[in-house]
């Protein structure tokens, strides 16, 4: 037995499969070598905890669901080179497969690559099965928790120390998005103080209805008493006044490609905006909102292209941290010169999209996609969190939380 096979057997032995999983692990070996394969295959398979909204734990039951297979097609699951016991599913008339499996109680936490082999015709892919560690609650008695539902489709939040106000963005649906709001809240009560719907956006192509300039990312500029938001659907940004949410400047569509985050450096008088799927951070002047620079970020991955996703600003150190969601790297930019200082590889990261730098420890924390929350810091250790976890607190999630240390 190879070292890899030995490791696989030791970490996830005796996987139990039930439901529509049929016995026939040996079927995985019945395929004749180099028969014509299914080059048009576009199937998907995923694993979730049997209890909706919960993580997968060792000893827990897992639901298997897949689609895009051919009706009647046999689908075999393997771990490494070893077929899983009872590891054959059969696609129904709609090309879907489903089943249940139990993770062994002794399985280690981690992400396991499960080989998905479809036969008749042949195709093989990898599906990831993540087993999460059990982390008991601790220290919760030291915090006060307040929550509120203020709008559907919450995305990000930002706190204004100058005005003692919390701003949040929301957007619902796919383009053309018609329901979106920018809200100003009382940070103590989480009551809505003001809200505004973005102005109408131009239609795409022949479509006359472009919805609105839906708002997603957000950053506050206390030096100029403004709020910056990202309009990802129109590839641009907008600036609003903090006091009454009046529109100050709506930039033209196409200014920043699939813009995600905005970080404001008040000392430098700059707003940094990430252009997802491109190796670029666009710099705006904040006094008079205009594009002032475009920073190109090289990738150290051979053949890879850096994709600027989330941003984390250390204003005192004049450093901006940018995570790539395609190459698993973090770029460090000097905010005074707009120059890339270094690009750091992050071995073992997968699909990183969130980033946060801790100036005290010097550590950089990454979050994989998809994350169901967004966090911003307030005064005295208070944290404001957007929780989008469906069914965790309500059917659609979208809960705003204030977490404050008890005095």
Residue 258 has pLDDT above 90, yes or no: yes
Half-sphere exposure (CA, 13 Å, Cβ side) for 212?
17
CA–CA dist 40, 47 (Å, integer): 23
* Residue at which a domain ends, from 109, 131, 153: 131
- Confidence band for 331, pLDDT divided at 50, 70 and 90: very high
What are the φ and ψ backbone dihedral angles of 6, each rounded to 5 degrees?
-60, -40
| Shared domain check, 297 and 321 | yes
* Residue at which a domain ends, from 75, 108, 131: 131
| Shared domain check, 243 and 173 | yes
Count of structural domains, the chain = 2
- Confidence band for 34, pLDDT divided at 50, 70 and 90: confident
- Nearest to residue 214, comparing CAs of 201, 202, 225, 203? 201
Per-residue pLDDT tens for 171-223?
Answer: 999 999 999 999 999 999 999 999 999 999 998 776 678 999 999 999 999 99
| Shared domain check, 338 and 237 | yes
| CB of 111 closer than 8 Å to CB of 36 | no
Residue 296 lies in a domain: yes
Which comes out higher in pLDDT, residue 374 or 80?
80
| Shared domain check, 46 and 96 | yes
| Shared domain check, 177 and 105 | no
Residue 136 lies in a domain: no
Region 242-261 average pLDDT: 97
Residue 27 lies in a domain: yes
154 SS3 class: strand
Write out the two tokens for 81: 């080179």
Per-residue pLDDT tens for 154-163?
Answer: 999 999 999 9
* Residue at which a domain ends, from 100, 131, 162: 131
Angle at 149 between CA 47 and CA 192, to 5 degrees: 145
Give the domain CATH number at 58. 2.20.130.20
Domain limits for position 109: 3-131
Give the domain CATH number at 160. 2.130.10.10
213 SS3 class: coil
CA–CA dist 204, 63 (Å, integer): 39
List 384's β-bridge partners, or say none.
376, 402
pLDDT at 376: 62
Coarse DSSP helix, strand, coil percentages of the chain, rounded to the nearest 5 percent? 5, 50, 45
| Shared domain check, 253 and 172 | yes
Region 69-98 average pLDDT: 89
Torsion sign across C-alpha atoms 67, 69, 74, 79: negative
Write out the two tokens for 399: 């809960």
| Shared domain check, 117 and 196 | no
């Amino acid at each position: 037995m190879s070292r890899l096979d030995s490791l696989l057997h030791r970490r996830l032995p005796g996987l139990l499969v039930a439901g529509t999983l049929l016995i026939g692990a040996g079927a995985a070996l019945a395929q004749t070598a180099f028969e014509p394969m299914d080059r048009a295959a576009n199937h998907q398979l995923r694993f979730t905890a049997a209890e909706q909204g919960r993580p997968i734990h060792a000893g827990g039951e897992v639901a298997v669901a897949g689609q895009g297979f051919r009706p009647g097609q046999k689908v075999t699951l393997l771990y490494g080179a070893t077929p899983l016991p009872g590891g054959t599913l059969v696609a129904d008339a709609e090309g879907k497969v489903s089943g249940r499996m139990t993770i062994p109680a002794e399985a280690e936490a981690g992400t396991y690559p499960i080989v998905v082999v479809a036969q008749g015709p042949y195709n093989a892919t990898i599906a990831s099965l993540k087993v999460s560690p059990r982390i008991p609650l601790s220290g919760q008695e030291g915090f006060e928790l307040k929550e509120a539902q203020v709008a559907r489709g919450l995305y990000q939040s930002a706190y204004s120390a100058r005005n003692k106000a919390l701003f949040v963005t929301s957007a619902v649906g796919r383009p053309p998005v018609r329901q979106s709001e920018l809200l100003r809240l009382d940070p103590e009560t989480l009551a809505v103080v003001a809200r505004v719907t973005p102005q109408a956006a131009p239609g795409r192509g022949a479509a006359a209805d472009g919805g609105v300039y839906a708002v997603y990312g957000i950053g506050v500029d206390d030096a100029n008493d403004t709020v910056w938001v990202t309009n990802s659907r129109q590839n641009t940004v907008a600036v609003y006044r903090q006091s009454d949410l009046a529109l100050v400047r709506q930039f033209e569509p196409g200014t920043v490609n699939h813009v995600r985050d905005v970080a404001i450096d008040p000392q430098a008088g700059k707003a940094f905006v990430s252009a997802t799927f491109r190796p670029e951070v666009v710099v705006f002047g904040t006094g008079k909102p205009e594009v002032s620079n475009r920073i190109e970020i090289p990738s150290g991955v051979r053949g890879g292209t850096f994709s600027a996703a989330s941003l984390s600003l250390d204003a005192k150190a004049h450093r901006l941290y940018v995570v790539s969601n395609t190459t698993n790297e973090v770029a460090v930019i000097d905010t005074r010169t707009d120059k890339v200082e270094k690009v750091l590889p992050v071995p073992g990261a997968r699909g990183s999209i969130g980033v946060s730098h801790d100036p005290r420890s010097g550590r950089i924390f990454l979050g994989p996609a998809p994350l169901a929350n967004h966090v911003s810091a307030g005064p005295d250790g208070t944290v404001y969190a957007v929780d989008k976890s469906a069914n965790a607190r309500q059917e659609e999630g979208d809960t705003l939380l204030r977490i404050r240390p008890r005095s």
